[in-house]
Structure 1
Amino acid sequence: MFSRKAARYLYTTIFVALIAILGTLSLSKLCNFYINDEKDLIEWTPQLGSKFETEVASNFSNKFEFINLNGAVRNLIGQKSMNGVIKLDNTYLLTTMNHCSDESIDKFADNLSAFNTYLDSKGIPLLYASTPYTLSKYGSELPTGVEDYGNDNIDRLIAALNSRNIDTIDFRQTMHDDGIEHYDMMYRTDHHWTTEAGFYAFGKIEDYIVSKTGCTIDPRVSDIKNYTITNYPKWHLGSRGQRTGIYYAGIDDFNLILPDFDTSISGYSKTGTVQDVMINMQPLENRNYRSKHTYDFVLGGTLGHYNNLNSPNDLKILFITDSFGYAVGEYMIMDFKEVEYQYDQNSKNITPDYIEKYNPDVVVMLCYPQIISDDSTSFDYEAFKTR
């Protein structure tokens, strides 16, 4: 048996050796980062006091394993926060939002009103569709003492847009009215909505476009019976799960929804089915918890500039959106002749000259509530105020 002094010495030696080994491995990773620009696979990196400190921490050896261990311990002792993420009472993960000022809300609404007036002069409908926020507005799951203004920001922006006669869809409200459980449509470890939520949202957007244009559509596109849903269990560790590890709130399932009927689309020098042209199957071949978001990697190709070779109508859609649009893009192009995507945070690129050149029949804005902030660049439509 070791004496107490000898045991302390042994433990200290092992601890120091472990730190030395990890330090050597981390130094190797840091050198590889500087020399070969090889970044860590984990989405989240800490933001520390200096650029060098951040780079050292970001390239710490076995960082993901330490995040997992940290998350497991915090889960066991019931801590509700970790690395800027809040665990709701129902175990969903949230990054809280600050209050957006009334002045910013009014500015955003005025800019969109100018955009809407310009489009209306050309007979082009504009729809602003607000995606749901992780935290439901119907029954708070916030831990005691935590403040969040996400739903309040949405409420005030939607009200401001409606007062200016801009068409809106609030998917928080439509899901509630349709008896859909809010959290069934959101990932537990991610800020995104699920693929099922994207399909649901498309159906509402389709209804709006048909009501405004009277266009002919393919009824198969919005009927879930015409799709195969493939479940990938415990496959998706979202942006918030990357910060907290696989033991803090678990890992999400990922469902891929693909059409059973023939499709033919073209874009970026490719022509083929939706699956051939838009869907990246590689992340679904092997489960990898260290991978960045399965959602983004699998569906990221659904946004772009595409043409539908089987379209029953001649409509051109301008789709202004963010990564929430990944879960909607494939259905949009299956329903209409042409869809062009613009990133909502690059709204200053959408000018009168751009609209005249592309000449869309309908403009759909599908936006995540995180853009409703005082420093947002997603509502910069000042160019339309001078028209």
Structure 2
Amino acid sequence: MVLKYRTEAVIFLLLIFVFGICSDFKLADYYINNVIYNEYFNPELGRKNETEYSKVFFGKRIFIDVNGGIRSILGQRYMNQVTKLNNGHLIWQMEYISDEELEANALNIKMVNEYCQEKGVPFVYIAAPDKISPWDSELPAGVEDYSNSNIDRFLEYIENLSIPFIDIRKELHNDGINQYLMFSRTDHHWNGYCGFYVWSKIRCWMDENGIDYEDTCADESNYTVKVYNNKLLGSYGQRTGKYFTCPDDFVVYYPNYDTSLTVGNITGRYEDILLNMSLLDSKEPEFIYDAFYPNYSPTINNSVNNDTRILIIGDSFSREVNPYFILTCKEYIWSSSYQSELISRNSLDGLAPDAMIIIHSPANNLGMEKSFRYFSNE
């Protein structure tokens, strides 16, 4: 019996050794030849070397898929820091953020609003929902999450400071829309349907503030909705595998009209400029949220009859909404909310936008200093 256990242990160690050697070749390829592997792993979730090794570990996806499948069969709800809700959606539990931090974050947004008021530039803060609905948490028994508590208290500060904002959670609820149908199961982001829904709410705000945009390009009837079935394995799905919960469909709105966009010295159609078609054509579920290029800024629309220059400060939630600003406004400028220190009075004076919008997921930004450092270099 002892010999049997020793044999199994040796075989196990040999397997780990072989897979490790294979991974070292991929890691060397990454360092020497700059070969990028598409498996998603957030560098903030681990040390740099650990993260890079995890990205290239040979056969990693198979191990994770099998582990997740077994846990699902056993009815387990927690794997690799990810929790499965009662409806199968995956979440990352959010910790409580102090009122002091939330107030400081809101006061920083106030500085942006005051600048816009001085310049006569319409401004609005778009508060994206967290995955968990305030009206139907779907949390397993004994699991606590403070995302909506943090958002509620933060938006109370925002409202008390007279900052214009749109709470997408309440918009969805008031319109009788199931919030979970607007989110990916395997990721924390909203899906393509929600992206267009949010655009429709921002469009109403633009109408109210007299911001010119191409009307015909804004209507949903002028788009073909293409669904890529079982294509998206989001950031949570990458940590739990495709059998812990089902991969997501990925939704893309394609315009039914001619488009001509210019980024730098490149001019082309919407599909050529804004989409990474190689990710959309992948055979296996991937983190294809990156199919929307994040840094296509500034973008000039050669087909519209307005001169509107719009500035979007956004996190990754803005990716599903950005195309509609690009397709309806003359000039689109995007800045990462994670580099908020780049936003200063001088930079804004130079950009001279006709409208300015922050699109944030508060649950994923609150308490993070880098997301609330507007005008910090002045």
1:346 aligns with 2:342: no
Tell me the C-alpha RMSD between the 2 structures: 2.6
**Change beyond 3 A, Cα 1:203–1:34:** closer
Which SS does the other structure have where 2:172 is aligned?
A: helix
TM-score of the aligned structures, taking structure 1 as reference length: 0.89
Residue type of the partner of 2:309?
K
1:249 aligns with 2:242: no
Q: Which runs of 5+ in 2 are unaligned?
A: none
1:141 aligns with 2:166: no
Answer with 132-141 or 18-27: which moved more: 18-27
Match of 2:349 in 1: 356
Deviation of 1:30 (Å): 4.9
CA distance in 1, matches of 2:138, 2:129: 15
**Change beyond 3 A, Cα 1:9–1:168:** closer
Match of 1:320 in 2: 313
Which SS does the other structure have where 2:293 is aligned?
A: helix
1:193-231 Cα deviation digits (max 9, x unpaired): 101111111111111112112x44333223221111111
Match of 2:164 in 1: 167
CA distance in 1, matches of 2:259, 2:374: 35
Match of 1:222 in 2: 218
1:259 aligns with 2:255: yes
Match of 1:367 in 2: 360
**Change beyond 3 A, Cα 1:303–1:206:** farther
1:157-211 Cα deviation digits (max 9, x unpaired): 1111111111100111101111111011100001111011111111111111121
Match of 2:179 in 1: 182
Match of 1:381 in 2: 374
Match of 1:237 in 2: 233
Alignment of 1:1-387 (within 5 A): 11=8, 14-15=11-12, 17-32=14-29, 36=33, 38=35, 41-44=38-41, 59-213=56-210, 215-289=211-285, 291=286, 293-296=287-290, 298-301=291-294, 303-383=296-376
Q: Is the 8 A contact 1:100 1:372 kept in 2?
A: no
1:240-275 Cα deviation digits (max 9, x unpaired): 100000100111111221110122221121222212
1:69-124 Cα deviation digits (max 9, x unpaired): 11111111111111111111111010111111111111111122122112101101
Which SS does the other structure have where 2:100 is aligned?
A: helix
Q: Is the 8 A contact 2:345 2:375 kept in 1?
A: no
Residue type of the partner of 2:253?
I
**Change beyond 3 A, Cα 1:7–1:294:** same
Q: Is the 8 A contact 1:45 1:58 kept in 2?
A: no
1:335-382 Cα deviation digits (max 9, x unpaired): 112110010111111111111111111110000124443233212124
Q: Is the 8 A contact 1:126 1:362 kept in 2?
A: yes
CA distance in 1, matches of 2:38, 2:91: 22
* Number of residue equivalences: 378
CA distance in 2, matches of 1:339, 1:187: 27
Q: Is the 8 A contact 1:94 1:240 kept in 2?
A: yes
Q: Is the 8 A contact 1:85 1:94 kept in 2?
A: yes
CA distance in 2, matches of 1:352, 1:216: 24
Answer with 371-380 or 359-368: which moved more: 371-380
Deviation of 1:303 (Å): 4.2
Percent sequence identity is 35
Q: Is the 8 A contact 1:305 1:340 kept in 2?
A: yes
CA distance in 2, matches of 1:36, 1:272: 30
Q: Which runs of 5+ in 1 are unaligned?
A: none
Q: Is the 8 A contact 1:153 1:372 kept in 2?
A: no
Which SS does the other structure have where 1:229 is aligned?
A: strand
**Change beyond 3 A, Cα 1:198–1:303:** farther
Residue type of the partner of 1:112?
I
Which SS does the other structure have where 1:377 is aligned?
A: helix
Larger Rg: 1
**Change beyond 3 A, Cα 1:5–1:255:** same
